């Protein structure tokens, strides 16, 4: 297996973008219209925490049961970690993120303009129209903040650029077992989507996809679900335990394999792409829909178990898990649930639980597997 291809860091990418005269949008999880930001010359750089940040500054403003993604983001901002950003976008992925948006608008005001983005909790026509209107409203706010007014043609060109990058990411996922990448290398590459410009990310993926295929990676096939695989050392640990991640339902990765849109109206097309993504509890997807999605991935990839790897206090995840895990177990697909704080190292207790789960799955007879 090869190591990760050379990927520019966030810092390098931001510096290069700024040197070209571009601006930066710091974007909180999970779903946002990348194409809209790029049309205004803003490079979206996502803020998933970040990990290993002193939580004390944010803790002074938040309840103790708020997840570390939100707590770390606020602490990072208060310690000037987002000074490089020109705007801050806070999608309403959950109550904690909505609360953070309110704090930044009304109480802990940064120097940058803060824009909330409300994501509907359904996929009806009314939801599609609502999100299209949200994108249109965000356009107006960005126009006022930047003095730019991208044309409809410029918006569509930006959308096509993002769709091309996402199409290559989907192809990377389809061919992951025959690519010369370890699990850790695969996710470092996939997560570069969080900050690289679409065209740079696409070029990186083309180089990887052009490499000759290898024999399918060996190991006990598992499916990884949850929010974000931090610490990333978890992936190497799974490999060392004899496992291989063959698919994922991660909020930072697999739930954002956005399909191409179909509408010729830019704002509607942006909304289509987000709402037609894989099921996601932060978008209100029914548990039955998530169950079908997970079971479908397991059948396609041969996954024999699911590791739910969640950030502590993630309410959208926790609401689904009891019934979802029970239904998976009834269908013959065992799972384990692990909660982490982004500031904690990968503990021996977590590693022991993952290893015990893999050993249990490995000894499961074929008749006991998923049906």
DSSP at 115? E
In a domain, residue 62? The reply is yes
In a domain, residue 368? The reply is no
Residue 117 exposure: Cα atoms within 13 Å on the Cβ side: 28
The encoded tokens of residue 281 equal 């509890």
Q: What is the pTM of this model?
A: 0.94
**Would you say 218 and 244 are in contact if contact means Cβ atoms under 8 Å apart?**
yes
In a domain, residue 190? The reply is no
Q: Give the CATH number for residue 121.
A: 3.40.50.11890
In a domain, residue 46? The reply is yes
In a domain, residue 166? The reply is no
Rounded Cα distance, 77 and 101, in Å:
13
Distances (CA, A) of 352 to 10, 244, 313: 32, 17, 22
Instruction: pLDDT tens for the chain, 371 residues: list them.
Output: 555 679 999 999 999 999 999 999 999 999 999 999 999 999 999 999 999 899 999 999 999 999 999 999 999 999 999 999 999 999 999 999 999 999 999 999 999 999 999 999 999 999 999 999 999 999 999 999 999 999 999 999 999 999 999 999 999 999 999 999 999 999 999 999 999 999 999 999 999 999 998 888 789 999 999 999 999 999 999 999 999 999 999 999 999 999 999 999 999 999 999 999 999 999 999 999 999 999 999 999 999 999 999 999 999 999 999 999 999 999 999 999 999 999 999 999 999 999 999 999 999 865 555 55
Rounded Cα distance, 87 and 349, in Å:
40
Rounded Cα distance, 299 and 4, in Å:
28
Looking at the structure of the chain, the number of domains it has is 1
Which residues neighbour 320 within 8 Å (Cβ) at sequence distance 6 or greater?
281, 287, 290
7-37 exposure pattern, b = at least 16 Cβ within 10 A, e = fewer:
bbebeebbeebeeeebbbbbbbbbbbbbbbb
Rounded Cα distance, 202 and 168, in Å:
7
Phi and psi at 46, nearest 5°, equal -80, 150
Residues across the chain: 371
In a domain, residue 108? The reply is yes
In a domain, residue 278? The reply is no
In a domain, residue 126? The reply is yes
- Domain enclosing residue 94, as ranges: 10-138
């Amino acid at each position: 297996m090869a190591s990760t291809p050379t990927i520019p860091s966030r810092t390098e990418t931001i510096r290069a973008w700024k040197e070209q005269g571009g601006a930066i949008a710091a974007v909180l999880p999970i779903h946002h219209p990348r194409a809209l930001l790029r049309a205004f010359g803003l490079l979206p750089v996502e803020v998933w925490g970040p990990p290993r940040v002193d939580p004390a500054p944010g803790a002074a403003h938040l309840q103790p049961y708020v997840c570390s993604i939100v707590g770390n983001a606020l602490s990072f901002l208060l310690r000037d970690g987002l000074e490089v950003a020109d705007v801050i976008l806070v999608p309403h992925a959950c109550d904690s993120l909505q609360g953070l948006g309110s704090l930044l608008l009304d109480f802990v005001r940064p120097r940058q303009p803060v824009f909330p983005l409300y994501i509907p909790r359904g996929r009806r026509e009314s939801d599609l129209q609502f999100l299209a209107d949200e994108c249109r409203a965000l356009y107006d706010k960005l126009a006022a903040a930047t003095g730019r007014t991208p044309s409809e043609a410029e918006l569509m060109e930006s959308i096509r650029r993002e769709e091309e990058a996402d199409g290559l990411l989907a192809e990377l996922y389809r061919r992951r077992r025959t690519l010369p990448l370890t699990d850790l290398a695969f996710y470092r590459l996939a997560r570069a989507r969080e900050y690289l410009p679409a065209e740079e990310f696409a070029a990186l993926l083309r180089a990887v996809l052009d490499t000759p295929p290898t024999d399918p990676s060996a190991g006990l096939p598992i499916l990884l679900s949850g929010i974000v695989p931090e610490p990333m050392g978890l992936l190497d640990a799974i490999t060392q335990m004899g496992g291989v991640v063959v698919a994922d339902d991660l909020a930072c990765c697999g739930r954002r394999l956005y399909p191409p849109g179909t509408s010729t109206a830019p704002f509607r097309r942006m909304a289509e792409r987000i709402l037609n993504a894989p099921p996601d509890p932060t978008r209100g997807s029914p548990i039955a829909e998530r169950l079908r999605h997970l079971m479908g991935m397991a059948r396609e990839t041969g996954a024999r178990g699911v590791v739910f790897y969640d950030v502590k206090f993630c309410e959208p995840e926790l609401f689904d898990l009891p019934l979802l895990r029970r239904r998976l177990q009834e269908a013959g697909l065992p799972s384990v649930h692990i909660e982490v704080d982004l500031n904690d190292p990968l503990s021996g207790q977590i590693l022991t639980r993952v290893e015990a789960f893999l050993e249990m799955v490995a000894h499961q007879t074929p008749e006991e597997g998923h049906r």
